[in-house]
Structure 1
């Protein structure tokens, strides 16, 4: 009899060819929990349970994809963000914990202000605007992306999580979003900020599967998207409105200086939980 315990051990062992033992074990547990639609506690309670042929087949399919370095979130089709599960596929970046810190800063700033108007630029899976719509329920939220495939994912997540977000498909480098001038309280963005030269430092599962359009900027212009978004925000923010970015820690001071040169006020750089410069915040005059 093949038990869940035995299957878990096998998954962990096979994944140790790619990952350190603790990470391999965690991925194996998440995979099994997803397949069973069970919590970690339920998995422990059921570990002597016999595994059906159907479950064995499903887990084998997952394992084959994982052994090709495909990220777990794409294999399972979901990723956690701010306490919610979002559908993801290779058209969108996998949501990161650092981005939760960006979103949390906006929520804390505006949680007592009614009818906040927010635009997320480069929305991907929609995790930022959907979370803001849920956590700031009287707000009006827009999400913008150049990729129609990404917006399909974002719309699916908004429907799944029953949140009202208006979606815009535009290339921010080419045009200004069709919104009323000086009408927004917040512009927020986690734009591409990884330099092309940093590819060699990235894990294979990121480099081969996540969308390069959402990751990389040219080596010669690391602030390409930050500068353009700041220029767009000048036209869209109300006086006193705020711009929030997730940033590349290597260019924190350059990002701050750029915003000051564009006449933003009270420009601040905040560190994430690991002590890295991760969020820039600025007020439009």
Structure 2
């Protein structure tokens, strides 16, 4: 079958759900991933055909896209900070906004040495692995409550040749005792970063089916009446475990920027900076410890 005919079928079947531009992106991503074909191939070879086995693969992906399965889950990877991360239903798919958060940290600490860094709620490991890759003298740690997420993070750590230390811990209970049972949590850090669950249940109506049905609710949602429950524990922990002038970086709910600034001030952070993402939403927060 001609590849351009399959492209036309993709648009016919999917444009109403995703829009033509996104469907084109899906199609070219799939042929590059499965067949090692560049996106300009049809301009050079308009009559290019694929065989029956290849047709089976591409039409299976089409069927999954019709069910609004994320393209990253179909191909098994997500592109983040110039790297391919393994992802599945147990971890959040890395977002461009999170990459902005990582780049903010790198811009602030590009020339620093011997940093100790902790990522809280690590998921796929995209944040600590990216920091480990770019902060050459840093010692980087990542925690998550999910065994399945930690397995994905460790696989990414190995495949991307980084040396992050991952361990299991519950953010909601890390402040329950003076000395934590998890030894890695008893040290001091120069940087603590987190992208915890922050979507309120009431905001589900704003989200697409591919997120609601295929990404882990555990990593996404918080109760409407306690939307800062994870941040409260993280900020409390950071206030005790950051070095003097240590930095806390958070990805936040765009509707709760003022509340988040207030929270950091309540825990004694001397400098609090709220930053917008590429879409103009209040998305990132930085606090510097006294």
TM-score, length of structure 2 as denominator length: 0.94
CA distance change for structure 1 residues 43 and 191 in 2, over 3 Å: closer, same or farther? farther
Once residues 43 and 84 of structure 2 are traced to their aligned partners in structure 1, the CA distance between those partners, rounded to angstroms, is 22
Once residues 202 and 80 of structure 1 are traced to their aligned partners in structure 2, the CA distance between those partners, rounded to angstroms, is 21
Which residue number in structure 1 is paired with residue 201 of structure 2?
A: 196
Once residues 41 and 17 of structure 2 are traced to their aligned partners in structure 1, the CA distance between those partners, rounded to angstroms, is 27
Once residues 46 and 172 of structure 2 are traced to their aligned partners in structure 1, the CA distance between those partners, rounded to angstroms, is 53
CA-based RMSD: 1.4
Cα offset for 1:220?
0.4
Which residue number in structure 1 is paired with residue 253 of structure 2?
A: 248
For structure 2, which runs of at least 5 residues remain unmatched after alignment? 175-179
Counterpart contact for 1:252–1:277, Cα < 8 Å: yes
Counterpart contact for 1:119–1:143, Cα < 8 Å: yes
Counterpart contact for 1:148–1:169, Cα < 8 Å: yes
Which residue number in structure 1 is paired with residue 279 of structure 2?
A: 274
Match for 1:185 among 168, 186, 190?
A: 190
Which residue number in structure 2 is paired with residue 215 of structure 1?
A: 220
Structure 1 consecutive aligned stretches of length 4 or more whose deviation exceeds 4 Å? none
Once residues 178 and 43 of structure 1 are traced to their aligned partners in structure 2, the CA distance between those partners, rounded to angstroms, is 56
Which residue number in structure 2 is paired with residue 27 of structure 1?
A: 26
Once residues 46 and 119 of structure 1 are traced to their aligned partners in structure 2, the CA distance between those partners, rounded to angstroms, is 49
CA distance change for structure 1 residues 267 and 15 in 2, over 3 Å: closer, same or farther? same
For structure 1, which runs of at least 5 residues remain unmatched after alignment? none
Once residues 42 and 84 of structure 1 are traced to their aligned partners in structure 2, the CA distance between those partners, rounded to angstroms, is 23
Moved more, 139-148 or 32-41: 32-41
Report the 3-state secondary structure (helix = DSSP H, G, I; strand = E; otherwise coil) of the residue aligned with 2:171. Answer: coil
- Is the aligned partner of 1:120 residue 2:96? no
Which residue number in structure 2 is paired with residue 59 of structure 1?
A: 58
Report the 3-state secondary structure (helix = DSSP H, G, I; strand = E; otherwise coil) of the residue aligned with 2:18. Answer: coil
Which residue number in structure 1 is paired with residue 15 of structure 2?
A: 16
Which residue number in structure 2 is paired with residue 228 of structure 1?
A: 233
Which residue number in structure 1 is paired with residue 133 of structure 2?
A: 134
Cα offset for 1:276?
1.2
Aligned pairs, number: 284
Once residues 43 and 159 of structure 2 are traced to their aligned partners in structure 1, the CA distance between those partners, rounded to angstroms, is 29
TM-score, length of structure 1 as denominator length: 0.96
Cα offset for 1:44?
4.1
Which residue number in structure 2 is paired with residue 75 of structure 1?
A: 74
